[in-house]
Amino acid sequence: MNALSEQILSELRGLLSEMSDGGSVGPSVYDTAQALRFHGKVTGRQDAYAWLIAQQQADGGWGSADFPLFRHAPTWAALLALQRADPLPGAADAVQAAIRFLQRQPDPYAHAVPEDAPIGAELILPQLCGEAASLPGAVAFPRHPALLPLRQARLVKLEAVAMLPSGHPLLHSWEAWGMSPTTACPDGDGSVGISPAATAAWRAYAVTRGSTPQTGRADAYLQMASLATRSGIEGVVPNVWPINVFEPCWSLYTLHLARLFAHPALAEAVRVIVAQLDARLGVRGLGPALHFAADADDTAVALCVLHLAGRNPAVDALRHFEIGELFVTFPGERNASVSTNIHALHALRLLGKPAAGTSAYVEANRNPHGLWDNEKWHVSWLYPTAHAVAALAQGEPQWRDERALAALLEAQRDDGGWGAGRASTFEETAYALFALHVMDGSEEARGRRHIAQVVARALEWMLARHAAHALPQTPLWIGKELYCPTRVVRVAELAGLWLALRWGRRVLAEGAGAAP
């Protein structure tokens, strides 16, 4: 076990030291399909088309059947990309299967817009649906009527804007509304809205007006974004990139949840990241990337990390996003995020600021089981639950919530892991352990034994699936579709395993001390 702990610390140290390359994000069906469409030519992109076909599920759609709300954008985009690639092996069959899937799939936007709808759904889905209207069988396709008024309202506002400032949140979905390259300009990394799909669309429009140095920068960006997927396939791109603020912020925050933030083996790597965050945090806060708009979520987590590192960050940057007793992620967002307010609460408590209203909001947004779900940035209830427990327990060492604890224990699967879908995942099991560790303070011996047994089963499950330097594969984070920020998730997996090992050793030691 000691050797494994050392290996975990070594891998964590390596991951933290790599976080200066813009970030690591798994490949995206939606963005790859859109980039292929805007690239135009099949020649030179055969491998990317083959990858796209290989991601199709047995039912004809793309994306996990566990989370049907997030399947429409990748399926529409892949269908439109592949229907122009008929000579490629498997393309025609994939198109027919996708058509059948869309004809059968219930429309989640028939009457209302779900709270956890994908990013830009109101702009993207009606646009793709309209483009597919001429395909065979389109009369039976979903129409997403609840999104239409939202899209129209957005477009009316955008028509009055000559050019959005670089990094504006709406640029992230530029491919769904931009009709002229003059409405956007690549940022310092060459991206439009840190989105490969938006950047590919902007580049295609710009080329029709003649190549410029900016189209060359967009090309370079798309190549770098493709490398970030580690797929090794030119043209396969991620859902979002770069994430050079989000990735290090969330990774260090996760280390705190696992009691690893101040571990001596990670001290130098943590120090380097903290210094960068401290230098980057401005009066307006931080966004997920250096050239993207600031938001409450990244700002709050950065404040947490800086305080934990002994810095004294000002809370003013977070106050820009405060409206009444809520914190909005971005000004003008469609609906509030539970996890953004959880992170704001955690930051306020760490910094010793009043947070009664935010605390009340977080408490009020539980489900009947006492857990947190319906989150707009992550599809699993285990993510906001772990973070909410940490935030509510901040400053209260004996904090414990019996309802949440009972629900967490009950949710453990027979195999020992946790998961919001049909199978346990390493990432979600780590979140469950983070939450349980905060609440493992019972003086009642039977209760402590029960938690110890639960942790032992989780550790057994994790050990059976752990492999050094493995790349996470399950996309659970909400973007335009579900995606996987690879290093962020890997840090969570390793931190969860390290916590379970340490916990197991403590339980064994306590048991030995109690033995006659």
Segment 249-297, tens digit of pLDDT? 999 999 999 999 999 999 999 999 999 999 999 999 999 999 999 999 9
Q: What is the pLDDT of residues 29-60, one digit of tens each?
A: 999 999 999 997 877 899 999 999 999 999 99
In the chain, what are the domain boundaries?
A: 2-21+243-507, 29-228
* H helical segments located in 422-485: 426-438, 445-465
Instruction: Please state the separation of Cα 370 from the chain's center in Å.
Output: 23
pLDDT at 354 over 80: yes
| 195: phi then psi, degrees, rounded to nearest 5 | -125, 120
User: Greater confidence, 320 or 504?
Assistant: 320
Query: Per-residue pLDDT for 331 more than 90?
Result: no
Residues 51, 45: Cα–Cα separation, whole Å = 10
Q: Yes or no: say if 350 and 358 are a contact pair by the CB < 8 Å rule.
A: no
Under the banding of pLDDT at 50, 70 and 90, the label for residue 239 is: very high
442 against 57, higher pLDDT? 57
Among 124-133, 221-230, 393-402, 441-450, which is the least confidently predicted range?
441-450
Q: What is the mean pLDDT of residues 53-74?
A: 97
pLDDT-wise least confident of 28-32, 208-212, 430-434, 504-508: 504-508
**Is pLDDT above 70 for 510?**
no
pLDDT the model gives residue 305: 98
405, containing H or E segment: helix 402-410
Determine what percent of the chain is predicted with pLDDT higher than 90. 84
> pLDDT by residue (tens digit) across 122-176?
999 999 999 999 998 999 999 999 999 999 999 998 988 888 999 999 999 999 9
CA distance 483 to 478: 6
Q: What is the pLDDT of residue 515?
A: 40
Are the CB atoms for 251 and 243 separated by under 8 Å? no
pLDDT reading at 516 higher than 50: no
**Rounded to an integer, what distance in angstroms lies between the CA atom of residue 34 and that of residue 31?**
5
Instruction: Calculate the alpha carbon distances from 306 to 23, 192, 388, 417 in Å.
Output: 20, 29, 19, 32
pLDDT tier, 325 (very low <50, low <70, confident <90, very high otherwise): confident
**CATH code that applies to domain 2-21+243-507:** 1.50.10.20
- Sequence-distant (6+) residues with CB within 8 A of 75 are 61, 62, 63, 98, 101, 102, 105
pLDDT band at 110 (very low <50, low <70, confident <90, very high): very high
pLDDT, mean of residues 225-249: 97
What residues form DSSP beta bridges with 483?
A: 477
Q: How confident is the model at residue 513 (pLDDT cuts 50, 70, 90)?
A: very low
* Amino acid residing at 161: V
- How far is Cα 196 from Cα 239, in angstroms, rounded to an integer? 7
Tell me what the pLDDT averaged over the chain comes to. Answer: 93
- The CATH class for the domain spanning 29-228 reads mainly alpha
Model pLDDT, residue 85: 86
Same CATH fold assignment for domains 2-21+243-507 and 29-228? yes
pLDDT at 514 over 70: no
Average pLDDT over residues 104-121: 94
Give the least confident one: 208-222, 240-254, 373-387. 208-222
The pTM assigned to this predicted structure is: 0.95
Render 145-165 in DSSP notation, one character per residue: GGGHHHHHHHHHHHHT-S-PP
Give the whole-number percent of the chain exceeding pLDDT 70: 97
Per the CB < 8 A criterion, the answer to whether 450 and 442 are in contact is: no
The one-letter amino acid at 218: A
Of 46-50, 114-118, 413-417, the range with the lowest mean pLDDT is 114-118
